[in-house]
Amino acid sequence: MGILDNKKIIIMGVANKSSLAFGCMQAILNQGGQVILTYQNDRMKRSLDRFVDESVLKVECDVSTPENIQIAFKKIVDKVGKVDGIVHAIAYAEKSDLANKLTDSTLESFTTAQNISVYSFIATAKYGYDIMNNGGSIVTLSYMGSERAIPNYNIMGVAKAGLESSVRYLARDLAENNIRVNAISAGAIKTLAVTGVKNHNGLIQMSDERTVDGVGVTIEEVGNTAAFLLSPIASGVVGDIIYVDKGTHLI
């Protein structure tokens, strides 16, 4: 018996075996859930096929165009029926914006980061609540750069602040549909996304040194928290940002 038995969960953003979304996928499967994955394009589909079983439903969804989310969700419902949860693990910023000063970013790069990192989450909720069973749950992934000035995080920190604010407003709005919305603020882990940040090795080392035991958090630990938030036993957790960084944010 698992806490997600008979639950169908969409995961948006599995990139490779080191991604936080993959940790979420493993935890959901371990707890008895069924996963449905979305991917950006054919290249990402080929990558997924190398390490995700062919029995797992995979649906194309490039979130840079919000209407694609609606189309993808309709395909999912047609295949498996209504779902019980969604994990949104998507963010993007131009690499130059993760190396220079915030004042070096352009309106175009700012808009891109906000569109993919923040509005895609709003659109996920907009089109997602209609395909969810009663008591559903939506979880997104953040980082403490949303409230602290983390070196080189820059425009992504601004986007994560917007993402976390969106969690609170969406949690309020979707409550009438009996759908919970929460976020996980994960510690710095060496994922493909983090390697885009200038001096990411130093960032991860600094983060690990500030954990309570000097050992960094893992994608499995992040995934286990996501599984909890998606499950009925987390029914009292609404509109929260849950830190899963082994205490890094305390210091």
- Catalytic residue numbers read 143, 153
Q: 11 pairs with which residues across the strands?
A: 37, 87
H-assigned helices in the chain: 20-30, 42-51, 67-80, 107-114, 120-128, 154-174, 200-209, 219-230
Task: Choose among 160, 14, 170: nearest CA to 92.
Answer: 160
Give binding residues as ranges: 13, 40, 62-63, 90, 93, 160, 189-193
Give binding residues for NAD(+) as ranges: 13, 40, 62-63, 90, 160, 189-193
Sequence-distant (≥ 6) Cβ neighbours of residue 211 within 8 angstroms: 187, 217, 245, 246, 247, 248
Alpha-carbon gap, residue 193 to 195, rounded angstroms: 6
Token pair, residue 237, equals 């957790």
Give binding residues for substrate as ranges: 93
Task: Choose among 112, 199, 116, 187: nearest CA to 152.
Answer: 199
Token pair, residue 113, equals 């980061």
